[in-house]
Amino acid sequence: MKYALASLAFWCFLTGLSFTAEAGSPDSRANIRNEQPMAELTALFERQLFQPRDKKLQDLTYFWFQPIPPYPEGLKFPLVLVLHGGSGNSYASRFLVKPEMQRAYPAFIVVPVLPERKLWAGSHPAAAKGEGIHDAVALIRDIVTRYPVDTRRIYVIGCSDGGTGTFGAVTYYPDLFAGAVAISGAWNPENAPKMTKVPIAAMHGTADTIISPNSARDTMGLIQQYGGQAFYNELPGQGHNCAAEHYYAPSIWSWLFSQKKTSPQ
């Protein structure tokens, strides 16, 4: 019960944050939280609009990066889903598009952007209806039909609300994701038994006054107890700083891109 109450309080806090096209076509009028999620590097991405066939889902504006085509026959690339925080900033994407990163880990990168007041995930039934992670997964399932994605290597990473969304992705879609990195997020430890299929790394600052590390710490510990691969790192004295470079160190990328499903999904 204490976990459920804490999760509900966290969800309530986050909800206080502040031409018609087919899937894959640009839409300059879409209402999104942040028009420049990668700051000046947003220019390296192509803005698109995904309109799902399932009308229970929401249209989703996203920014798309791909290795330079044409691709040799049979070559497939990993896909990284990057979930932004409450401000709509996508810091992991800024590292992923660096030339040295693309040389080491060439990959498709998809950065969906939510409208105001919508969350990626909430871990409490009160939040389930509006969780954006379901829209993002529908987008991924569409992308893999149109691009040479290695479906054994689909990853998710995010910070703050994006970190919470990463926990949600592992909970709801364990058969889709091969690896996950949750930064400064929160989740309900009671969901840990559902989270053992996806290797997950989580990081959190001990001095974070926006989202306490307690629930992430408890969740990761329980995933380990239930036999999952959960790697948790708490950074002494660090606050809620999604832009901090230590969250995107080379060791993180080396670990993430080494994860692989045993069979395509």
Residue carrying structure tokens 């803005």: 47
264, part of any domain: no
User: What is the number of structural domains in the chain?
Assistant: 1
**Mean pLDDT over all residues of the chain?**
88
- Give the Cα separation of 65 and 108 in Å (integer): 6
132, part of any domain: yes
265, part of any domain: no
In what helix (H) or strand (E) does residue 113 lie, and over which residues does it extend? Answer: strand 108-113
202, part of any domain: yes
pLDDT tens digits for range 238-254: 999 999 999 999 999 99
- Give the Cα separation of 233 and 229 in Å (integer): 13
33, part of any domain: yes
Strand order in the sheet with 60-65: 46-50, 60-65, 108-113, 77-83, 149-159, 179-183, 200-205, 230-235
Structural domain for 182, as ranges: 2-257
- Give the Cα separation of 132 and 40 in Å (integer): 25
* pLDDT value of residue 2: 42
Task: Output 48 or 26, whichever has higher pLDDT.
Answer: 48
Distance of CA 141 to the CA centre of its chain: 15
Q: What is the CATH number of the domain that holds 87?
A: 3.40.50.1820
Burial code of 144-174, b = ≥16 C-beta within 10 A, e = fewer? beebbbbbebbbbbbbbbbbbbbbbbbbbbe
84, part of any domain: yes
pLDDT tens digits for range 52-75: 999 889 899 999 999 998 999 999
* pLDDT value of residue 13: 34
44, part of any domain: yes
Q: Is the pLDDT of residue 207 over 60?
A: yes
176, part of any domain: yes
pLDDT tens digits for range 166-205: 999 999 999 999 999 999 999 999 999 999 999 999 999 9
